Chains A and B, each alone.
Chain A
Amino acid sequence: MKLGLFLRLAWSNIKKNHQLYVPHIFAGTGLTGVFYVMLTLANDERIEKIKGGYAIPSIMAIGCTVVAILSVILVFFTNSFLMKQRTREYGMYNVLGMEKRHVGRIMFLENLISTVISLVSGVLFGILIYKLCCLFICKMLHVDTILGFYVDPECIVKTVGAFAVMYFAAFLWNRFRLARLRPVELLASAGTGEKEPKIKWILLLIGLLTLGAGYYIALTTKSPLKAIPDFFKAVILVVIGTYALFLAGSIALLKLLRKNKGFYYRRKNMIAVSDLLYRMKQNAIGLASIAILATGVIVMMSTTVCLYTGTEETIKKYFLDGDTDIFLRTFCRHSEETEDGWVTNSFQLPEETIRELTEKTVKEFGSEVVSFKPMRNLSDVFHFENGKGSIYEIRSSFATLPEGTVQLIIIPLEDYNGLTGQSVTLADGEAGWFALSADSPAITKTVPENFSIGGQSMRIAKEVKALSITPGEAYTTDTYGLIVPSLETLEAMVDGLDRELDEKYQGDSRYYLYGSVYYTYCVRVADAAKLAEVDTEQEMASTFGMYFRDRVDELMDNGDEPETDENGDENVRSYTDAHYFWESTWGMRYELFAMYGSLFFLGILLSMVFLFATALIIYYKQISEGYDDRGRFQILQKVGMTQKETKGTIRRQIVIVFFLPLVTAVIHMVVAYPVIRKLLMLLMMPNDKLFLLCTALTVVAFAFIYMVIYRLTARTYYRIVR
């Protein structure tokens, strides 16, 4: 019976405070739902089986983590806000004769009710939108739709468990605060005069330094390979800087303005400046959070939209600007036991053979080879010292490249002319060059005019028309194509480099790098669109592989019987590996759409969550300010301001407070733009204009949504103030 009374009290409290509880429960529902969706996507086997979908679970797992972190922050934020607004009410219960444990029980029941509603509706919401998300993903990945309703009980249990723990922790925190308050304080806590904010010089200094350092890193990153570690460093610094400056910088600025008597004692400024001072003190954290969330949304959306919409273009550029449909590379390794131990040698099948096998494969799938051009090359990162270029060994993919390193794709003249249709000539010992990224300086910045690679002395003679190649591995340092007079020169370079490595590592075969030039062939087929349809399962590649291996075996056997030892076992004294790489435009399309599509999806989902968080923070800010402003509003009118004037001043302040995070986010984005552009180059996204467009559109769209959120919440605000 007593429990019944408490339950009724708790329920009526929630209803009475619906203005506070509805958004709180909405937030819980949304976060639980999104978390459930991401968790299920990460575990749904049907998703993993989508062509190219192998990347989705790990991408969604990242999303899960982000949502979880954000949830913890938001749950505590809304919770402490609720607590602050209701302290007086709890104090009243205490004064009216309830013991703290009774108040605590009511508090617990209130929490329980709102938590249960949030979790149940959240999971239901999640299950409902899961289907929608699957449809959306399939659409974006250009694959057939997954049908059927899917519920994963394990994910439900995990989601509910995680959020229940979060809410319970928040309740304990409130209970702890309740226990420490005395009744008088409980009653008075809403009416105490705020202390005048002080300038926190140390925090201000920290803010200036971190933001400055973050911006400096973002703006000065030259090497795109450095962009990844630099980007994260800059992000952390800028986040710290934003919080510190919102907290300390805003107050310092306003206080300076107040010191300036000529500025401060003016009709328009006086009330605005001193009110803003208090607003910033109360809302700095919330506003800084909005600025960070807004930046996050803009960065996520602009990059993922850009990658997704630019997929076709990325593919086109990768395949020699659409000049080829298939890249094919083959090589063989023959290992033989000699008196000195095992010796491995690389060799190539003749071009005609590869061509013949390719034609056979393509014909089998119902098309024909139109052109078959070699693009033999050597591609690596080089470091030059005293004119001598040596291979720069990259130990980890995120390592920092020192100054003076450069990525070179070295191509013999005959292949270059064949691919471009030009008739460039080079004398012996001369090299031509072209830059592969638009903003690279002339090659002579890093490569000396007279240089040698693998013992071949060369002179940089001329710049030639660029060929659209994307290096196999996108180390996005400055990248150049280098044209050497003949295939022989290139072979000699490779031999020379091998010898250098051999000497360096005393023949340790683990460091055996080349042995051969890359024999890449560019194949153009008659009907790529048709092949894309026929070859959805990437069978062409394995068909070619089969023919290729058979041919290599035929060649190597030479009709010899394998030797046998006295036990009759085959005595293996030699073996041959046949390696091939086959990349088709359509194969790449599946892969990229799967990757960029799921990134795009994650971007959208997270952006929605971020926007939601932003809306929530703004809403609560408006409510709490509304109650504070009501008193001020009335006094100002009594002292002799018209209602219109008063409303005008307050609106002006709110607009300033409202636009501050948006402006901050845009500034952050402008500064981050060059780094992000370099990061996109790592992901083979070459189109600057597209990225600029995506960024601009995202900013505009975000500003619009933000405005709508503001409008909606401002209505609540004016209702309170009036």
Chain B
Amino acid sequence: MAILEVSNLKKIYTTRFGGNKVQALSNVTFSVEKGEYVAIMGESGSGKTTLLNILAALDRPTAGKVMLEGKELSGIKEAEMATFRRENLGFVFQEFNLLDTFSIRDNILLPLVLNGAKPAELESKLLPIAEELGIKDLLAKYPYEVSGGQKQRTAVARALITDPKLILADEPTGALDSKSTDDLLRVFREINAKGQTILMVTHSTKAASHASRVLFIRDGEVFHQIYRGDCTNEQLYQKISDTLTLLTTGGEQR
């Protein structure tokens, strides 16, 4: 069953005084199955971020539609949008976006509290996730006291705590060193193995090589996609790498 269906998505930005029109997405169609781990790749300016913003309901498309579990995003009222996002989506950002006035514990709990969870159930939800992500000992610390990798794992924990239908990750490894990157990708694999659907936007081949499917975007369209099949990470890496070369040297869509 497809958890996310994107069809004929189009986004045109109009500059402030109505002069220039920039087409960020021309025609994007794809779907994500439940339990899938999808990476979206593309160069800067290819429309990745625009796509992610529309999927996150932070932005609205010019045309086309996005269905999450059969529910159309554009049909949700502005007032309910935040609640919808909180309950259905989890976010992981490149620059972590942790609040430095909150301890690690409070950063993770924030979405639950915003959802109006009872104080008693907070701890029971927090502890397993923190343990899984290896940040149990850091809960009392503050973001400025921990490393980048730990911050990102905190952000993942924050995304997971509401049991979202879909995790949207925007360049999650972009600000991490290689060891932390490996750690994080392993974490993503583990939570994916437990059934969590993940959609990750990245331009890191390494990050993408952990996914079960890789979508390539160029000039606002889905240009190509690769299924993992039985490939190992290394084989997938090679495939992605080849595709990227093709993309940059200007191959035709097939």
Contacts and interface: CB of A to CB of B under 8 A. Distances in A.
B111 to A, nearest CB: 6
A266 B113 contact: yes
A639 B158 contact: yes
B158 A196 contact: no
Nearest to B141: A196
A640 B85 contact: yes
B54 to A, nearest CB: 15
A262 B110 contact: no
A638 B97 contact: yes
A642 B101 contact: no
B228 interface: no
Interface string B73-112: 0000011011101100101010001111111001001110
Contacts of B99: 274, 632, 635-636
Interface in A93-129: none
B226 interface: no
Interface in B103-161: 103, 106, 109-111, 113-114, 116-117, 119, 122, 142-144, 158
A627 to B, nearest CB: 14
Nearest to B96: A635
Interface in A271-293: 271, 274-275, 277-278
Contacts of A642: 78-79, 81-82
Interface string A628-652: 0000100110111110010000000
A274 B79 contact: no
A639 B100 contact: no
A689 interface: no
Q: Which of B99, B100, B106, B114 has the most CB of A within 10 A?
A: B100
Contacts of B142: 193, 196
A265 B97 contact: no
B100 A194 contact: yes
Contacts of A638: 58, 91, 93, 97
Contacts of A640: 82-83, 85-86, 89, 91, 111, 114
A645 B142 CA distance: 24
Nearest to A644: B79
A331 B102 CA distance: 81
Nearest to A262: B119
Interface string B53-83: 0000010000000000000000000110111
A277 B111 contact: no
Contacts of B100: 193-194
Contacts of A196: 103, 142
B189 to A, nearest CB: 24
A267 interface: yes
Contact of A265 (B58, B79, B89, B122): B122
A639 B111 contact: yes
A277 B101 contact: yes
**Interface secondary structure of B, over-half rule:** helix
Nearest to B144: A193
B93 A641 contact: no
Nearest to A193: B144
Contacts of A278: 101
Interface residues of B, number: 32
- Per DSSP, chain A at the interface is helix
A274 B122 CA distance: 18
A639 B91 contact: yes
Among B79, B99, B109, B111, max chain A CB count under 10 A is at B99
A265 B91 contact: no
B119 A265 contact: yes
B82 A635 contact: no
Nearest to B162: A640
A274 B101 contact: yes
Nearest to A276: B101
Contacts of B143: 193
Nearest to A638: B97
A423 B101 CA distance: 79
A267 B82 contact: no
A261 interface: yes
A166 interface: no
Contacts of B116: 267
Contacts of A265: 109, 113, 117, 119, 122
A641 B115 CA distance: 10
B106 to A, nearest CB: 7
Contacts of A143: none
A270 interface: yes
Which residue, of A261, A266, A275, A642, has the highest number of chain B Cβ atoms within 10 A?
Answer: A642
Contacts of B111: 639-640
Nearest to B84: A640
Q: Which of A265, A636, A638 gathers the greatest number of chain B CB atoms within 10 Å?
A: A265
A275 B158 CA distance: 19
B144 A639 contact: no
Nearest to A265: B119
A72 to B, nearest CB: 33
B86 A274 contact: no
B119 A645 contact: no
A640 B114 CA distance: 8
Contacts of A274: 99, 101-102, 106
A261 B119 contact: yes
Contacts of B98: 635
Contact of A639 (B79, B103, B110): B110
A499 B69 CA distance: 109
A266 to B, nearest CB: 7
Contacts of A632: 99, 101
Given A193-B143, A194-B100, A267-B114, A645 B82 contact: yes
B216 to A, nearest CB: 26
A159 B246 CA distance: 76
Nearest to A279: B101
A642 B78 CA distance: 9
A418 B58 CA distance: 91
B81 A275 contact: no
A205 to B, nearest CB: 26
A262 B113 CA distance: 11
A714 to B, nearest CB: 21
A642 B83 CA distance: 8
Interface string A451-472: 0000000000000000000000
Interface of A: 192-196, 261-262, 264-267, 270-271, 274-275, 277-278, 632, 635-636, 638-642, 645
27 contacts: A193-B142, A194-B100, A194-B144, A195-B144, A196-B142, A261-B119, A261-B122, A265-B109, A265-B119, A266-B113, A270-B106, A274-B102, A274-B106, A278-B101, A635-B97, A635-B98, A638-B58, A638-B93, A639-B86, A639-B91, A639-B97, A639-B110, A639-B114, A640-B83, A640-B85, A641-B114, A642-B82
Given A195-B144, A642-B81, 11 more contacts: A265-B113, A265-B119, A267-B114, A267-B116, A270-B109, A275-B101, A632-B99, A638-B58, A639-B111, A640-B83, A642-B78
Q: Which 4 A-B pairs have the closest CB atoms?
A: A193-B144, A640-B86, A642-B82, A265-B119
